[in-house]
Amino acid sequence: MGSPSRFKYTTRSLKEGQTSLQLEYKRPWENNPAIEKQVYEIEVQKNGKMTISQKTDFTSQENSFTSISMAEVLSRMEKSSDYILLDVRRLDEYEEGHIPNATLFTNEKMTEEEANSLIPNKKQTIFVYCRTGRRSKQASQKLATWGYENVYDIGGIIDYNELQH
């Protein structure tokens, strides 16, 4: 499985214009399609200043999920209550603290039957998080494979805790 990691990319502008940047989460030794894609729109102005925004309406492929930032999800949650927030950590982790209104649905014990019982509407918006983001990616992919259409991996509770301080 590997261990969680974060990458920092530095960009600089070469000329004025617009472009898209697509990042894929994929094991290079496997022939499977990427399990996750993130797309960013980049605009470079005449003075060299860049504006970068994440494109959130992007769906990478059939049976896939989208990753969005915890900050964006918190903003969406303030504006609407039409979502399900899933904490896919273990029970002991959940009991130590979780995001308000989160439902525990442990990744390692998750089954399609339980998902259908908990979330009967396959079009329901589902936000998924864990501790660091590894298990939430796995759980998000399971849900997407089972036919859920609006699955968003939002990373880890660590990101949530950083935003609350």
In the prediction, which pLDDT does 13 show? Answer: 79
pTM of the model: 0.65
In contact, 68 and 86? CB cutoff 8 Å: no
Tell me the pLDDT band of 35, cut-offs 50, 70 and 90: low
Which tens digit of pLDDT belongs to each residue from 46-83?
888 888 887 754 444 556 889 899 999 999 999 999 99
pLDDT the model gives residue 161: 85
Q: How many CB atoms lie within 10 A of CB 116?
A: 13
The dihedral region occupied by 60, where left means phi > 0, alpha psi between -120 and 50, and beta the remainder, is: alpha
Percent of the chain surpassing pLDDT 70:
87
**Confidence band, pLDDT 50/70/90 cuts, at residue 149:** very high
Q: Over 90: is that where the pLDDT of 14 sits?
A: no
Residue 84 in this model has a pLDDT that exceeds 70? yes
Q: Is the model more confident about 17 or about 103? A: 103
List pLDDT tens digits, range 86-117: 999 999 999 999 999 999 999 999 999 999 99
Q: Which tokens sit at 21?
A: 């940047």
pLDDT at 10 (0 to 100): 82
Amino acid 129: pLDDT: 97
Q: What angle do CA 105, 106, 109 make, to 5 degrees?
A: 115
Say if CB 156 and CB 130 are below 8 A apart. yes
**Percent of the chain surpassing pLDDT 90:** 52
Question: φ, ψ for residue 74 (rounded to 5)?
Answer: -60, -40
Instruction: Give CA–CA dist 12/41, Å, rounded.
Output: 14
